[in-house]
């Protein structure tokens, strides 16, 4: 007999996370959209123009704060915005920043791609895949996640990045 529980479809790490984190946002638990329902349009437009608009819950408040006070020196780019927009978005990011255990740690360089949870979720991907011309950077979520623009990272919306070698497909397929 199959026992159906709400978490039955989740991978073991996520199930473990659910058990240990009491403030886990529902969006993470059901792998649904991770961008808050009322995401400011300025966030989607400005912070989604060079890369996808990263879900605020993927970084802790301190990281967002640092990012928003250094937009003129943003990972080698100038991502400056007018002061009113900075204030609006910074406040919104503080409100929706990640709070549960996994995300509470500030990752190196305030890169969500350097956080422990990110590296664990992507540990089965071969190093050669990150170097593909169609990927180039782990920050380029949309190369592999079809729903990234809308904040969806569920593993049933994965796509093969262009040029993916057959022997590297396994991490992208349900096992």
35 belongs to the binding site for ligand HEC (CB under 6 A): no
Query: Using an 8 Å Cβ cutoff, are 108 and 99 in contact?
Result: no
97 belongs to the binding site for ligand HEC (CB under 6 A): no
157 belongs to the binding site for ligand HEC (CB under 6 A): no
Give the residue with the Cβ less far from ligand HEC, 2 or 102.
102
Q: Of residues 17, 97, 102, 140, which one binds ligand HEC by CB under 6 A?
A: 140
Q: Which stretch binds ligand HEC (CB under 6 A): 1-9, 19-27, 94-102, 141-149?
A: 141-149
CB 24 → ligand HEC: shortest distance, Å? 13
């Amino acid at each position: 007999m199959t026992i159906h529980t709400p978490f039955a479809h989740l991978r073991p790490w996520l199930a473990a996370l659910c058990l240990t984190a009491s403030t886990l946002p529902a969006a993470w638990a059901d792998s649904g959209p991770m961008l808050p329902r009322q995401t400011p349009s300025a966030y989607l437009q400005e912070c989604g123009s060079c890369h996808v608009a990263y879900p605020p819950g993927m970084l802790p408040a301190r990281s967002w704060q640092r990012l928003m006070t250094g937009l003129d020196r943003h990972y080698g780019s100038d991502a400056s915005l007018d002061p009113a927009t900075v204030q609006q978005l910074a406040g919104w990011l503080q409100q929706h920043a990640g709070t549960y255990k996994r995300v509470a740690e500030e990752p190196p360089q305030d890169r969500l791609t350097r956080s422990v949870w990110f590296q664990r979720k992507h540990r089965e991907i071969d190093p050669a895949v990150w170097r593909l011309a169609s990927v180039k950077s782990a920050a380029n979520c949309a190369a592999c996640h079809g729903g990234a623009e809308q904040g969806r990272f569920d593993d049933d919306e994965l796509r093969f990045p262009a040029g993916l070698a057959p022997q590297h497909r396994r991490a992208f397929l349900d096992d």
